[in-house]
Chains A and B, each alone.
Chain A
Amino acid sequence: MSRKCFTLTMMAVLILTTFSMRAEDLRKIASLSGYWRFTIGDDISWANPAYDDSKWDQIAVPGKWENQGYDDYNGYAWYRKEVMVGSLPANTTIYMVLGRIDDVDEVYLNGKLLGGNGSFPPTYITAYDRERKYVIPKGYLQENGENVVAVRVYDGYLEGGILGGQIGLYVDSDLELLDLNLTGRWKFNTGDNKEWKAPDYNDEKWKRLNVPGDWDNQGYFDYDGYAWYRVKFKVPQDFMKGEFYLSLGKIDDIDDVYLNGKYIGSVYDLKHSREYHHGGWEYNARRIYKINSKMLNYGGINTLAIRVNDLQQRGGIYEGPIGIMSPENCRRYQNKHYSDHSFWDFIYDKFVIEY
């Protein structure tokens, strides 16, 4: 299906390779490329790790199935693979990267759903141009043992399957720079109400969403407009004092952040940042807000409330790291991500008139 807008895709590749700055600092802990078990068809029991797939075909991943004996095949197919994982670093988040999948997918780890992209028929929506990266919730991955990955794929037409990318399991090294990691399942509600910033607001009936992770893949496909996130967290009595930083990764598109009911900033306070040079920069800016010990409730519950306005397409807090950083760690984080001064940054710095 990738030929569908060939020139557009090529241009997108061009733009991505030249403009994109390094996202998270991902380190591979297990590869998922190589031979996978494969069958066409669809049966949800194939997600079960105990299912016997020994009669299935074997297929090289990544690579389209058309080149591997399934020329002209369109429709459902399943991939399965066992992956051995050693000891995992503590206090970090593990991602499963499956690269490009044509067109729709749903990913299971040890029988538990990690997420999906696109939409299966009859409300078919392709996601062939999106990179698949799934947060693995705590407890899903078996340390020092075998894990079974099962991927349900639907191809509308033309190329199908897990097509390409650096597929594997990754840890985000950025998370090691967090002194307090706030990655996890947060409360979420669409709409807009200024009372939702209040620490004592009752959000019990709100839905839960993975943060980071865009909302389009978590039941709010194509939702544009306002939505709020809320999370409650404990700060230890002996946590650092003074001035430090709240990192909220990347948010699509515009955020207003409230800590314990007090406004602490928005993307428009980040006009000094590198990303500001680029048009439509809001979604790509790394959120780092200065906070201090007076704003926190030591030894007790703190409430973070974030109002997000998504202008179009993907929306939400889609990329980490999410948490609190000491000034030293924040400096390390910035050096890591802004040292690779791209060609385009150079052009902008040199020739674009200052704001």
Chain B
Amino acid sequence: MNTIFRSAKVRGVMIAFLCMMGYSMETMASMRDNLILLQSLKGSWSFSIGINDEWISPKYDDSKWETIRVPSAWEDQGFNGYNGYAFYRKKFTISSAHKNRMLYLYMGYIDDVDEVYLNGYKIGATGGFPPKFNTAYNAERVYYIPEKCINFDETNVVVVKVYDVQQGGGIVSGEIGLYGGKSVVKLDANLQTEWKFKTGDDLKRKDPGYDDSQWGTIFVPSKWENQGYRNYDGFAWYRKAFIYLGNDNERMVLLLGKIDDVDQVYINGILIGATGNLSDKSNVWTNTGQEYSAFRGYYLPVGFLKKGQKYVIAIRVLDTGGEGGIYEGPVGLLSQDKYIDYWRRNR
């Protein structure tokens, strides 16, 4: 070893540099790298151009639709020159042997915008449909499937609504399929759905009575860049009202998956938890740049939630650069006992 490496300081700088290299490598990997393919969904799907909300229903009869190969651009499958809305539908079954895993629908890359429904439940959305059109052709789609949305040993129907503005359109590439992750997290309340959303910063937004009726909506979890806020860095707030249906004396945990970058979480105006270090001022904060990779499970104080009461979760997020927002699930509430059980099963 060269004498220069004997200096702890030089070694420290070297190690820090290697760690930074490691982190940038990690972010470049595919989002399905830690998941196991349970069932491929590549191959023929039912397909129709146009738009009709009835097509979302699992009961809808699509037997007269065209078939199309997934993944590929529809231009290569007889729809050359078509731009606009189209729907994809596919039926599949999954064995109850996979009941104890967290399940994800991996949809690869979709050109330009999509919304995905499983058995009629919306499980994900990326990009923005007209009139607030916003392409997300270069975003990888991984949608967490909440437990209640899937049927084991029975037919499931996945419906993908796509909008393409120009050139190649549709579910264009990727190892499309159903993937398994860690052991399933049994949420008491699923909060993976549409939330109220507004950019900017104002601490009054934490108050439960704050009027957010004029705010936009955003699907959680998904990066806000893919939902009409392209290139937006800075503060934004998420709000969601819910009614607590669990027991009064149970200690609850609020799972918020992963958030890019820094957050502060309020329930009914009371600070519950934070990752990174925001202050009351919009221009004073500290972070380390690693907050985006932290899995958030915020413990609520004992007896905080009362059965039958309405609560408003308000999340203040600061994105310091790159992509931003609550971008990875699961998102929801569960009791501490179930949360402990989840981690033990995964050990």
The interface of chain A, by Cβ under 8 A from chain B, is 3-7, 9-11, 13-14, 17, 39-43, 57, 69-70, 72-76, 121-122, 124, 156-158
Contact = CB atoms under 8 A, between A and B. Distances in A.
B271 A41 contact: no
B340 A122 contact: no
B8 A14 contact: yes
A158 B295 CA distance: 9
Given A3-B290, A14-B8, A158-B290, A74 B297 contact: yes
Contacts of B275: 74, 156-157
15 contacts: A3-B16, A3-B290, A9-B12, A10-B11, A10-B15, A10-B16, A13-B8, A42-B336, A69-B347, A74-B294, A74-B295, A122-B272, A122-B274, A124-B273, A157-B291
Given A6-B19, A74-B294, A42 B9 contact: no
A122 B273 contact: yes
Interface in B214-256: 251, 253
A10 B7 CA distance: 11
B340 A7 contact: no
A106 to B, nearest CB: 14
A72 B295 contact: yes
Contacts of B346: 69
Interface in B251-296: 251, 253, 270-275, 288, 290-291, 293-296
A73 B16 contact: no
B274 A40 contact: no
A15 to B, nearest CB: 10
Interface residues of B, number: 34
B132 interface: no
A126 to B, nearest CB: 9
Contacts, number: 86
B339 interface: yes
Nearest to B288: A4
B344 interface: yes
B298 interface: yes
Interface string B326-347: 0000000000110110011011
Nearest to B289: A4
Contacts of A3: 16, 19, 288, 290
Contact of A157 (B13, B15, B290): B290
B311 interface: no
Given A69-B346, A70-B343, A75-B297, A121 B291 contact: no
B291 A42 contact: no
Given A3-B290, A74-B295, A11 B12 contact: yes
Contact of B339 (A10, A41, A57): A41
B299 interface: yes
Contacts of B290: 3-4, 157-158
Given A6-B16, A10-B11, A40 B273 contact: no
